Amino acid sequence: MEGILAIWQRDVIKFFRDKAQLIGSFAMPFMFLILFGSGMSGALSSMLEGNASGPLADFDFVEFMFPGIIEMTVFNTAIFSSLSVVQDKEFGYMREILVSPMSRVTIAIGKVLGGSTVAVFQGLMMLLFVPFIGVSITLSMVLQLIPVMFLVAFAISSIGLLIASSLKTSQGFQMVVQILIFPMLFLSGALFPLSGMPGWMDFIVKINPLTYSVDMFKKIILEPEKMEPALREAMGLDLTVFNHVITFSQEIIVVSIISIVFIVLATFKFSKSEG
């Protein structure tokens, strides 16, 4: 336990000392929210002129995007937290850790917990922008978001560790992660509704772990159960698999299973990797 705490503490302290990473990890999500969200809101307003009575009349695109932007922040921070594993290999620090009395499983779990903690903090930092974008967030929502953020961040950090354990250079890690980031984000419902997609794309959406993560954030922040059915459908908030509407509890189970599978794979791969 002490070993896990030591690895966790090192990664958390390292992150907070790196001001560039601290700011940069949520700069892109915030830009998406302001530029893409505002642009789409303006486009929707133009489309709705003279037809304000339709279900899209209450469609606030910035509000719709906000849960996805939190997910983007958590995702970026969690998966890039494993970059430190590759960097430690390059600079020889990982070899020193591996010859210590700590088991490799302990090191792997400490790394994942460190990345998860930092990702939750970064996700919560996005809430500072709430007063400026007109989104309503209550204390109850924040208290619900924290454990969900941690669960999602744990799953993504595990995926990142699995990738990092298979690579030897920072450039290789960043290239692989960049290839994963945009398809996973764009096909998760974070930036636009998932309704009306082609069948092959809908299949990818349903097997994308981020789809269920984003939908959990939306259920907490947007409260779709209080919306009119037409508006809920327009926003694509009724996530279905095999014509079954997925509940919040079922999404928790799905993400928990993903977390367990990838932390097992990541710790196994890490224990076999060379420093």
Q: How far apart are CA 102 and CA 99, in angstroms?
A: 8
Residue 129 pLDDT exceeds 70: yes
Q: What is the mean pLDDT of residues 89-96?
A: 70
Is residue 268 predicted with pLDDT exceeding 80?
yes
Q: What are phi and psi of 241, to 5 degrees?
A: -130, 120
Mean pLDDT, the chain, integer: 81
pLDDT bucket at 35, cuts 50 / 70 / 90: confident
Domain range for 262: 2-272
| pLDDT of 57 | 57
Q: How many domains does the chain have?
A: 1
Statement: residue 92 has pLDDT above 80: no
pLDDT at 258 (0 to 100): 92
Confidence bin at 192 (pLDDT 50/70/90): confident
- Main-chain phi, psi angles of 240, to 5 degrees: -125, 145
**Confidence at residue 120, expressed as pLDDT on a 0 to 100 scale:** 93
